[in-house]
Amino acid sequence: MIYDPTADDLKRKVWQGERIDAEEAMRLYRLPLSELGSLADRRRQIAKADQYNGKGDEIVTYILDRNINYTNICNVYCKFCAFYRTEKDLDSYVISHEELDGKIDEMLEVGGSQILLQGGHHPKLNMDWYLDLLTHLEEKYPQVNVHGFSPSEFVHFREVFGLPLQEIIGKFQEAGLGSIPGGGGEILVDKVRKRISPLKAMSDEWLEVMDTAHRLGLNSSATMMFGHVESVEDRIEHLDRIRVQQDRSGGFTAFICWTFQSENTRLKAPPCGANEYLRMLALSRIYLDNIDNAQSSWVTQGLEIGQIALTYGANDLGSIMMEENVVSQAGTVYHMKENDMHRLIHDLGCEPRRRNNWYQLLN
Ligand code: SF4
């Protein structure tokens, strides 16, 4: 790591809350980690200070939801994925309404408010199958937000259904879809996507879905999975594409980054450690000056780094996931109960609060 003695002006600029460009981001990336962390923490304070009746800076939020994968059948074969199956695999499945209800009933018993509904890119399910599913959920569980279907799923639907994105997303919205997860973002640089997931939505398509959804009034999250074949410049380009999109359509409620988990996948890369994770989280908080919330990825980093992340720009611990199938099949094993989350947050001198998908406090 090269120390940049001329960085004082840049640090002052970040401290004052000004926008930085890609070249400045690269210089920040080379700062000692603790300095970068302090600057990101300052930007977290600036972003959150006016929220929650002026207490936003002291509150750390989380959501209680359940991750439900409606099918593991997928014909995209991403090299980093250990979750997908083909239709011929004995353990492939498509969820039934009864199974779905059982999972939601369990979630409601412990106070959950949202399902994260995502799946493989199933080659045969038609639009009626999805609309039936959403209508069923809306009728039976109107109190539960359906945070569902990542942009790459919508791009797949466009191919399978042969309809424009706006029409598909509009119909899903009418049937009860509440918001869209930012899954499948990985790195929004096509030369990277062509190496790790050549059959999946490319960068412009991913952003096109978000643009369409935001204009229809649906909020979404934005994500980044890093630590595989990309360069630091690619990561900064990814952040820039997200920031430009947010300036345009304004619907990203949060940014979530995590490191690639390689176990059981065909993509091999040296593990990306806590230093690199915290460095990128901090840089993301500073670069994405138009997204209020940054989540800590304790699921991939563990509880201790997950807690430290709250001093490196994150203001939210994400989900207490009742079920996680995708990252866990690639080797991640971290779990946390609600009282563990409270302990970590209190330990930092902050107040833990449950939230909904729109970052409104619930308790
Ligand atoms: S990451 Fe998603 S799209 Fe890619 S293979 Fe796995 S299930 Fe399919």
Residue from 22, 45, 105 nearest 314 by CA? 45
Average pLDDT over all residues of the chain = 93
Per-residue pLDDT for 216 more than 70? yes
Q: Ligand 1 centroid to 152 CA: how many Å?
A: 9
252 ligand 1 Cβ < 6 A? no
pLDDT at 329: 61
Q: What is the mean pLDDT of residues 60-69?
A: 94
Whose tokens are 């009728």? That residue is 139
Whose tokens are 């991640």? That residue is 332
In a domain, 10, yes or no: no
In a domain, 24, yes or no: yes
Do residues 71 and 63 make contact, with C-beta atoms less than 8 angstroms apart? no
Q: Which residues contact 196 (CB under 8 A, 6 or more apart)?
A: 78, 79, 80, 186, 228, 229, 267
**Total structural domains within the chain:** 1
CATH of the domain at 25: 3.20.20.70
Per-residue pLDDT for 15 more than 60? yes
In a domain, 9, yes or no: no
76 ligand 1 Cβ < 6 A? yes
Q: Which of the four pLDDT bands, split at 50, 70 and 90, describes residue 67?
A: very high
pLDDT at 263: 74
Q: Ligand 1 centroid to 310 CA: how many Å?
A: 29
- Per the structure, the complete domain to which residue 347 belongs is given by 20-354
Kind of pairing between the strands at 114-118 and 179-180: unpaired
84 ligand 1 Cβ < 6 A? yes
Print the SS3 string covering the chain: CCCCCCCHHHHHHHHCCCCCCHHHHHHHHCCCHHHHHHHHHHHHHHHHCCCCCCCHHHEEEEEEEEEEECECECCCCCCCCCCCECCCCCCCCECCHHHHHHHHHHHHHCCCCEEEEECCCCCCCCHHHHHHHHHHHHHHCCCCEEEECCHHHHHHHHHHHCCCHHHHHHHHHHHCCCEECCCCCCCCCHHHHHHHCCCCCCHHHHHHHHHHHHHCCCEEEEEEEECCCCCHHHHHHHHHHHHHHHHHHCCEEEEEEEECCCCCCCCCCCCCCHHHHHHHHHHHHHHCCCCCEEECCHHHHCHHHHHHHHHCCCCEEEEEECCCCCCHHHCCCCCCCHHHHHHHHHHCCCEEEEECCCCCECC
Q: What is the mean pLDDT of residues 187-210?
A: 96
In a domain, 8, yes or no: no
85 ligand 1 Cβ < 6 A? no
Give the residue whose CA is nearest to atom 2 of ligand 1.
120
Q: What is the mean pLDDT of residues 199-220?
A: 97
Question: For residues 294 and 317, what is the distance between their CA atoms, to the nearest angstrom?
Answer: 9
pLDDT at 261: 83
Q: What is the mean pLDDT of residues 123-128?
A: 97
In a domain, 139, yes or no: yes
Question: For residues 224 and 211, what is the distance between their CA atoms, to the nearest angstrom?
Answer: 17
Question: For residues 116 and 120, what is the distance between their CA atoms, to the nearest angstrom?
Answer: 13
119 ligand 1 Cβ < 6 A? no
Q: Ligand 1 centroid to 154 CA: how many Å?
A: 13
pTM above 0.75, yes or no: yes
Do residues 317 and 346 make contact, with C-beta atoms less than 8 angstroms apart? no
121 ligand 1 Cβ < 6 A? yes
In a domain, 291, yes or no: yes
Q: What is the mean pLDDT of residues 287-295?
A: 98
Per-residue pLDDT for 324 more than 80? no
In a domain, 12, yes or no: no
What separation in angstroms does the CA of 131 have from each of 93, 108, 119?
19, 23, 15
Q: Which residues contact 169 (CB under 8 A, 6 or more apart)?
A: 154, 177, 209, 212, 213, 216, 218
In a domain, 360, yes or no: no
Per-residue pLDDT for 328 more than 60? no
pLDDT at 81: 86
Atom of ligand 1 nearest to the CA of 153: 3
